[in-house]
Amino acid sequence: MTEPLILEPVKPADACVIWLHGLGADRYDFLPVAEALQEVLLSTRFVLPQAPTRAVTINGGYEMPSWYDILAMSPARAISREQLEVSAQRVFDLIEEQKAGGIDASRIFLAGFSQGGAVVLHTAFVKWQGPLGGVLALSTYAPTFNDELELSASQQRIPVLSLHGQYDDVVQNSMGRTAYEHLKQRGVTVTWQEYPMGHEVLPEEIRDIGVWLAGRLR
């Protein structure tokens, strides 16, 4: 297992963002974003884990970094729940490592793009029980959210920033909106923002993320 990329801040770390990349990318994908955010978040550590390389069914069985296998795209994504659970446990373990290192759980944030976002949403609202600083859900969806989803009081207190492209043809805007609605209906403080983009990240979006994080790390 490849070790996460860890970016230490200029000041002693008192907060942490664990950021998961998307399908086919790697732990370096969001390195420039983390470096840009650290110019504002001077005491925030960034942990960028690497997904294992495995065969992805919808891509003809081609092997690539993937948090879980996607078996089919229609009518809704069919995924390997077992592999998703393993990836969520890895995030769970990273949270515990940061706590053991002295970072309070209320100052630990989970962020994920696309498939990585699906993992952090599952981790925060299905698996994790306890405080968290918040969740950043970028161009993503929630394959394990359904009408039976029940959140604990601590999960309801986890704030979420959902960001999505208006022209996303990989993870449709409506899929991100559905995840947002699930959380909103269950009392989560969740903000929806969309941008004139496809399945990507814009500088304006990164600035908005920096403002959101800074507001919660005062």
Which sign does the torsion angle of CA 177, 178, 179, 184 carry? positive
Whole-angstrom distance, CA of residue 155 vs CA of residue 188: 8
Determine which one of 66, 87, 114, 162 is catalytic: 114
Determine which one of 26, 29, 69, 168 is catalytic: 168
pLDDT of residue 218: 85
Task: Report H helices in 39-133.
Answer: 81-100, 115-122
DSSP 8-state assignment for residue 119: H
Domain extents in the chain: 5-51+81-216
> Cβ-count burial of 153 within 10 angstroms (0-12 exposed, 13-18 middle, 19+ buried)?
exposed
Which sign does the torsion angle of CA 95, 139, 59, 145 carry? positive
Whole-angstrom distance, CA of residue 157 vs CA of residue 190: 10
Catalytic site residue 168? yes
Of 152, 150, 111, residue with least CA distance to 129: 152
Spans of the chain, pLDDT less than 70? 74-76
Candidates 3.40.50.2300, 3.40.720.10, 3.40.50.1820, 1.10.630.10; CATH matching 5-51+81-216:
3.40.50.1820
pLDDT of residue 81: 93
pLDDT of residue 12: 96
State whether residue 83 is helix, strand or coil: helix
Q: What is the CA radius of gyration of the chain?
A: 16
Whole-angstrom distance, CA of residue 155 vs CA of residue 125: 6
What are the pLDDT digits (tens) for 131-187? Answer: 999 999 999 999 999 999 999 999 999 999 999 999 999 999 999 999 999 999 999
Catalytic site residue 114? yes
Whole-angstrom distance, CA of residue 30 vs CA of residue 60: 26
Determine which one of 14, 43, 106, 199 is catalytic: 199
State whether residue 64 is helix, strand or coil: strand
Tokens coding 117:
């976002």
On whether the pTM is more than 0.85, the answer is yes
